[in-house]
């Protein structure tokens, strides 16, 4: 099973993928091509994606049962002891927000200086 998800990619690329895969939602393609065809499709997607983003997920024989690749995503796959996880970028210099005053008893005590 192969899934390709396109975001902000040219319409012509979507038309190209419909030759091999079924478009089940706008920009979401699903099918079962061979490994050779999947790799050829992915290289075409990376070449013609333009300013868009693309994600390829396909079934394979590993612990998770699938693997995936990304193109121009901010989130990147990272292998951690044989399990692929997604690393999201962090905001540099952003600290945790201060606690907002709420309606809990502890919040009221903090606000009014009671202990």
Nearest CA-CA partner of 103 in 90, 115, 112: 112
Give the tens place of pLDDT for each residue, 61-112: 888 899 888 998 888 888 888 888 888 887 765 555 665 656 777 777 777 7
Mind listing the pLDDT tens digit for each residue in 16-37? 999 999 999 999 999 999 999 9
E-strand spans in 8-112?
22-25, 28-31, 53-59, 66-71, 76-80, 83-87
Question: How would DSSP label each residue in 32-60?
Answer: ---HHHHHHHHHHHHHH-TT-EEEEEEE-
**Domains of the chain, first to last:** 2-90 (3.30.70.240)
């Amino acid at each position: 099973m192969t899934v390709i998800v396109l975001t902000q990619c040219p319409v012509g690329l979507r038309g190209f993928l419909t030759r091999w895969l079924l478009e089940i939602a706008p920009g979401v393609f699903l099918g079962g091509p061979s490994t050779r065809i999947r790799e050829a499709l992915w290289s075409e997607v990376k070449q013609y994606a333009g300013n868009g983003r693309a994600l390829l997920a396909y079934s394979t024989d590993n612990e998770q049962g699938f693997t995936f690749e990304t193109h121009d995503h901010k989130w990147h796959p990272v292998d951690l002891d044989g399990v692929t996880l997604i690393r999201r970028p962090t905001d540099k210099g952003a600290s945790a927000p201060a606690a907002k005053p709420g309606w809990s008893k502890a919040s009221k005590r903090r606000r009014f200086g009671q202990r």
